[in-house]
Chains A and B, each alone.
Chain A
Amino acid sequence: GAVVSQHPSRVICKSGTSVKIECRSLDFQATTMFWYRQFPKKSLMLMATSNEGSKATYEQGVEKDKFLINHASLTLSTLTVTSAHPEDSSFYICSATPLAGYNEQFFGPGTRLTVL
């Protein structure tokens, strides 16, 4: 099946620093990737839709200047949490689909961000 990787899997940083999370589709090309956020014992909330070669589409309430998304190639999207604060601590998961239309999405293993 299609494989999506994320790096790093876990990061601990100090308040005020910026953290970059990478999402890669390893064996397929993805014109669209999605970024979700998950709090402990909660469901996934869509943050933004990342489009290759164009600006990301952010969900209501998600600060685009806070969560910078870059989709520079068909296999890589990055999420940068700028000036991180403790309330940004969460589990961030990306997903991608190799096909057009509505099909199953393949999820990365997630990145656990802890901001001290």
Chain B
Amino acid sequence: SQQGEEDPQALSIQEGENATMNCSYKTSINNLQWYRQNSGRGLVHLILIRSNEREKHSGRLRVTLDTSKKSSSLLITASRAADTASYFCATANTGRRALTFGSGTRLQVQP
């Protein structure tokens, strides 16, 4: 399969709660990136974590990477209604510049 898997496929939480999304992939990677997409719109880059990094923070975002398990997680803390969107992980596989996208998680934050 070209794509990795993300879970959950859909997540609904209340404003102020934390949201955790997980991503698994299959091949050796150079880096893993997380993107956000509002309905019918383009993708916005959130964060990039390289294969030799284990954790990275950016504002309310925290990303972890476990290359031994070929998995990553994205944590959004203190969620807001404006965080409602689809979130995709994407891997830059070794030897290939094009990104391979996960299946995505649709996050709904209830105000």
* B103 in contact with A43 (CB, 8 Å): yes
Q: A34-B98, A34-B99, A43-B103 are in contact. Are A102 and B30 (CB under 8 A)?
A: yes
* A107 in contact with B43 (CB, 8 Å): yes
Size bracket, chain A contacts: 20 to 34
Chief secondary structure at chain B's binding surface: strand
Residue of B nearest to A6 (CB): B42
Question: Which residues on the B side are within 8 Å of A115 (C-beta)?
Answer: none
**What are 11 pairs between A and B in contact, CB < 8 Å?**
A43-B101, A44-B88, A44-B90, A45-B3, A46-B2, A95-B43, A95-B99, A102-B97, A103-B31, A104-B33, A107-B42
Which B residues fall within an 8 A CB radius of A? 2-3, 30-31, 33, 35, 40-45, 48, 88, 90, 92, 97-104, 106
Which A residues fall within an 8 A CB radius of B? 6, 32, 34, 36, 41-46, 49, 91, 93, 95, 97, 101-110, 112
